[in-house]
Every structure is written in C-alpha cells, then in structure tokens.
C-alpha cells in the first residue's frame, strides 16, 4: 500500500509502497477514504511527541472496512466507518471508574510511537475504536467527527448547557468553532464567538453565532456584559489557551456560571482580577477543563451530525489529494488562510 512516511524530523514526508498492516483478531482494517490533518500532527513533526522513526502520522480517518479480525462482530467488509484513535488501557483506576478520558496509559494511534497512522491507504484500529458511518455523512466530514468535533463536544457536555443559555466561545479555531456547533445543538441557545481573526468570525456568523467580537477592536467582556443585562454569560468555553483569554473568560461568566477550559495552555497562567472577590469568588462559578473525548459520546455525536443538528458543511475548508500531503502539512503548519480543517482524500 501507499503511505506517507516521516523518515527524519524537519524533512518532508515521502510516499512509498509498504506492506499492509497485519490484522489482529480484534482489529478492523480501514481502506482510508479521507484523513484530516490535525495541529497535533504538527507537534509530532516538530519532535514534541515521542515517536520512533520512520513514522506514519494521521489520526482522523474515515473509510470502508477492508478486512476484519476473526473476533470482530460488529463490522464486515465494505461497511462505511470512521475511527477514533484514542485507545484507553481499560485497566487503570480511571478506566475502571468511568473516567476513560483521563486514562493514565492511553495511546493515540498515529500519534504515539510504534503505531501506524492514517496517512496511508490502509489504517488499522481495534474494533472498539471504530463506528459505523451513516450514508448521509460524507467521508470528509466524518474525519472532522473523529477528533476536533469529538474533543469539542466532550467539552460542551462538561459545560452542562441548558436551553436558553448564553454561551460565549473564546477562539474560533477547529475546537472553538466545533464547540460552538455543539452548543448550538441545544435548542434556543445563543452563542457569542470571540476571535482576533475576522475571517473566523465571519464563518462563525454564517454557522449560527448570534454575536461575534474581535478583541483587537473592542473589549469583549464589556460587550458580553452589555448583551446580558450586566449578568455575564451562563457558559464560557475557552478554546485559545492564553493567559489573557483565560482571564477574560472568567470575567465574562456570570453568577453561578460554568466555564470550560479547552485550550491547552503551554505558557504560564495566572488568574488575576482587580477585584478577586467580586470577579471570582462571589460569582460561585464552576470551572472545568476538558481533554480528549469519550467513547460513549461518539454514537450520539454521529447521530447529531447525521440529522444535521450539528452541521459540518463548513468544517472542511480545503480538500487535497493524498499525494499533496506535504502541501497540506505546510498550510496547517503556517495557518495559511485560517482554515478550520484540511482533509486529504484517497482515490
């Protein structure tokens, strides 16, 4: 099969013929139809993830079943499928206590060393990580479900959104944008999107944002308070991960509000308010972070996309043939055109 291989950090991938993966008894072999490029692939390319070279990247794939292991029951050759690449250990304290999203020993197929990713004609996953893909959902959109929408939706569930809530999203990138779509899947919710890039705000507006704000032109906190009779938002989702946006997020949430941190901050964070008591303590807020996703969320998520309660029609910004993978990686690396998702397609 053809696969894009990373041989040396800092170099381009080379497409080569290699043997198909061996299917274990519980595995499903996917003939890849589409694979998304994730920002996490950039971390791997930069050497920030422990991988063994040569390595095949990619963890956001959809396709059809090419082969199944002897113990696989739910899938047969030809089924349309999508994969979720996070394999949990099922043994640690967290897996045993219904907290698989924080499994101590999880691996991400395609991201962690010794695993083969989806930037190849065939991609292998355990049966438990594979889901049927309804006819209504095209392959390119299905790749979005596997990772950005799954992560974003997990955060939305943590946010405990209720009908009628005002939800503020800081950050209109892949996670923030899909968190907004997730929030909008609750009836009569109004979402405000905040980003410094007008193009992302325009997209958010088209996808249903009630208000958009660009903090380089206006103070979002002031505007949010103005739009909520001084109360602040019921829910704030922070999907940037900067000290400034995290602090703005806390200032934007109202009394008894919920806040979810979805950005992964790699810089030093410090909560600091002019009035700690009024801005923080006396609001009695709940702040939670959100990481990865859970298997039990996948079926409902697929159903929400199938029924268009979550509309992914604007999520794939660019489609490239698999052969142009290096071009795609460059675009994502340099954030050319502020795209939500770049997806590679196979013949």
Judged by the rule CB under 8 A, the positions of this chain that interact with another protein are 93-94, 99, 101-102, 104, 158, 231, 246, 255-256, 261, 264-272, 276-277, 280-291
In the complex with another protein, the residue whose CB is nearer, 133 or 262, is: 262
Q: Kindly state the smallest distance separating residue 282's Cβ from another protein, in Å.
A: 6
Listed residue (273, 271, 282) closest to 246, CA to CA = 271
Tokens 């994730």 belong to which residue?
Answer: 38
Q: Which residues contact 263 (CB under 8 A, 6 or more apart)?
A: 170, 171, 175, 238, 239, 240, 241, 242, 245, 246
b/e map 206-234, b = 16+ CB within 10 Å = ebebebbbebeeeebbebbbebbeeebbb
- What is the smallest separation between the CB atom of 222 and another protein, expressed in angstroms? 20
CB of 134 to another protein, least distance (A): 30
Nearest to 130 by CA among 141, 142, 113: 142
| Closer of 17 and 98 to another protein (Cβ) | 98
Instruction: Please tell me the number of Cα atoms within 13 Å of 309 on its side-chain side.
Output: 14
The residue among 200 and 258 lying less far from another protein, judged by its C-beta, is 258
Shortest Å, Cβ 155 to another protein: 10
In the complex, minimum distance from the CB of residue 144 to another protein, in angstroms, rounded to a whole number: 22
Q: Rounded to the nearest whole angstrom, what is the least distance from the CB of residue 295 to another protein in the complex?
A: 15
Nearer of residues 289 and 326 to another protein, judged by Cβ: 289
User: Torsion-angle region of residue 171: left (phi > 0), alpha (psi -120 to 50) or beta?
Assistant: left
Q: Which is nearer to another protein, 104 or 300 (CB)?
A: 104
Nearer to another protein, 17 or 284 (CB): 284
Cβ proximity of 38 and 153 under 8 Å: no
């Amino acid at each position: 099969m053809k696969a894009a291989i990373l041989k040396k950090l800092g170099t381009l991938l080379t497409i080569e013929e290699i043997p198909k993966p061996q299917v274990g008894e519980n595995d499903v072999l996917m003939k890849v139809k589409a694979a998304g490029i994730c920002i996490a692939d950039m971390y791997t390319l930069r050497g920030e993830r422990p991988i063994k070279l040569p390595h095949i990247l990619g963890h956001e794939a959809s396709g059809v079943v090419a082969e199944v292991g002897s113990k696989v029951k739910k899938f047969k050759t030809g089924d349309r499928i999508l994969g979720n690449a996070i394999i949990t250990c099922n043994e640690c304290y967290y897996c045993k206590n219904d907290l698989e999203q924080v499994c101590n020993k999880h691996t991400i197929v395609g991201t962690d060393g010794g695993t083969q990713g989806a930037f190849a004609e065939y991609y292998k996953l355990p049966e438990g990580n594979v889901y049927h893909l309804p006819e209504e959902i095209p392959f390119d959109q299905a790749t979005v479900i596997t990772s950005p929408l799954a992560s974003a939706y997990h955060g939305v569930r943590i946010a405990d959104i209720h009908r009628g809530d005002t939800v503020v999203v800081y950050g209109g990138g892949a996670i923030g944008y899909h968190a907004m779509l997730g929030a909008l899947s609750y009836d009569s919710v109004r979402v405000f999107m905040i980003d410094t890039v007008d193009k992302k705000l325009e997209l958010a507006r088209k996808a249903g944002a009630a208000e958009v704000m660009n903090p380089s032109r206006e103070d979002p906190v002031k505007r949010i308070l103005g739009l909520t009779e001084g109360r602040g938002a019921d829910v704030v989702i922070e999907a940037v991960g900067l000290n400034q946006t995290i602090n703005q997020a806390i200032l934007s949430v109202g009394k008894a509000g919920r806040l979810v941190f979805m950005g992964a901050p790699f810089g030093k964070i410090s909560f600091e308010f002019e009035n700690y008591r009024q801005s923080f303590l006396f609001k009695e807020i709940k702040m939670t972070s959100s990481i990865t996703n859970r298997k039990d969320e996948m079926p409902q998520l697929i159903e929400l996309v199938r029924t268009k309660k979550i509309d992914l029609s604007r999520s794939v910004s660019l489609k490239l043939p698999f052969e142009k993978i290096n071009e795609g990686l460059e675009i994502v690396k340099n954030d050319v055109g502020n795209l939500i998702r770049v997806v590679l397609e196979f013949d």
